[in-house]
Structure 1
Amino acid sequence: MQALTKIVNTILKAVTVSVFVVLVVCVVWQVFSRYVLGTPSTVTDELARFMFMWIGLIGAAYTLGMRRHLAIDLLTGSLTGKRKLLSDYFIVLAIAFFSGVVMLYGGGQLVMKTLANGQVSPALRIPMGYIYAAIPFSGGIMLFYCVEFFLGLVNGTGTGPNDQMPDAADTAAK
């Protein structure tokens, strides 16, 4: 499972960096075309918006996998032993429920309905279902990480979803 997780992490890093590069290029061109050329580009404006949606959702999934997401651990930080373990199980199941039902299933339904209706974006003429596909894609990745967390908790080899993974710098210092 760890080998598969490393592959997923590597792919997500590459996709995130690639999307971010396209986003930056679009925004720079948009500013240049608006203020220097005097004719704003509607194509790059729309593309930047779509790239921002994708990078936000993919970044959220990757952040969950790295255990770097925002967590309010006022209660769970003081728990130990069996209560901590039960809390970790509950958190993983809650995240998995949201990821599976809302993002994967609900987002998948949105994609299918949008593709069936034939809705396209105004400037690029891209089917909007492809744009909305970021929701179930991200939900699927989050669900994958939840399975990893859950198996780690069951095997006793993993940490909870709110526990920070050690940084490379922290590990090298020890």
Structure 2
Amino acid sequence: MYPTLRRAEEALAVLLFSVILLLILWQIISRYILGVPVPWTDELSRLLFVYMGVLGAHLAQRDKIHVRIDMILSRLAPGAYRVVEILFNLIILACCIFLIREGMILAARKAVIYMITINVSSWFLFIPLAILGALVSLEVGLQTRDLLRQTSGAGEADRC
């Protein structure tokens, strides 16, 4: 939909992956070659991995490449297919609302706990749940809007 935003998200995913890879490589070199372990690399790479997972889940939803079984859906008429897709999207939206709410509660509870080696609140480790819920709900909302605007035979190209 927005090519600049799409490229920025993909560039961020590549950047996160590269930084994680370099952190782990540095951890291996420092521990096994230099003999001086650097403990903060483990926690920082874990934190970045969580954010990379959130970004990846959002990109998968945007591109409609999440794992799904469409054996029954593929046999439906285009109008029925559209109705079922809209129902699925409403269920996903409900799950996202739950994820946003519970993610914020969990992040608030964990905010007082700090990751020892990088001295950062655990809030940063748990708030991605709410961020994921918000990103996916936005994407699913846009997809649902597009489904509602389609005429009954127009959704054929979107099938998996």
TM-score (norm 2): 0.88
Change (3 A) 1:27 1:108: same
Whether the aligned pair in 1 keeps the contact of 2:78 and 2:155 (CA below 8 Å) is no
Which residue identity does 1:108 align to in structure 2? M
Residue aligning to 2:39 = 42
Q: Which amino acid aligns with 2:105?
A: Q
Name structure 1 gaps, 5 residues minimum: 165-174
Is the alpha carbon distance of 1:159 and 1:65 closer, same or farther for their aligned partners in structure 2, counting shifts above 3 Å? farther
Query: Which residue number in structure 1 is paired with residue 101 of structure 2?
Result: 105
> Which of 54, 58, 74 lines up with 2:51 in the alignment?
54
Deviation at 1:8, TM superposition (A): 4.1
Q: Give the aligned partner of residue 133 of structure 2.
A: 139
Of the candidates 1, 19, 26, which is equivalent to residue 16 of structure 2? 19
Q: What is the one-letter code of the residue matched to 1:89?
A: I
Residue of 66, 78, 81 corresponding to 1:81: 78
Question: What do the CA deviations read for 1:6-60 (whole angstroms, capped 9, x no partner)?
Answer: 4543332232122112111111101111210122211101111111111112201
Distance apart, 1:159 and its partner CA:
4.7
Moved more, 39-48 or 141-150: 39-48
More displaced 10-residue stretch of structure 1: 36-45 or 146-155: 36-45
Instruction: State the SS of the aligned residue for 1:24.
Output: helix
TM-score (norm 1): 0.82
Q: Does the aligned pair in 1 maintain the 2:107–2:123 contact within 8 Å?
A: yes
Q: What is the SS of the residue equivalent to 1:105?
A: helix
Alignment coverage as a number of residue pairs: 157
- Give the SS at the match of 1:22: helix
- The runs of 4+ residues in structure 1 deviating greater than 6 Å are none
CA distance in 1, matches of 2:155, 2:140: 12
Partners of 1:139 and 1:11 in 2: how far apart?
20
- CA RMSD for the aligned pairs? 2.0
Describe the shift of the 1:19–1:49 C-alpha distance in structure 2 as closer, same or farther (beyond 3 A). Answer: same
C-alpha distance in 1 between matches for 2:65 and 2:78: 23
* Distance in 2 (alpha carbons) for counterparts of 1:61 and 1:35: 36
2:118 pairs with 124, 132, 148, which one?
124
Percentage of pairs with the same residue: 20
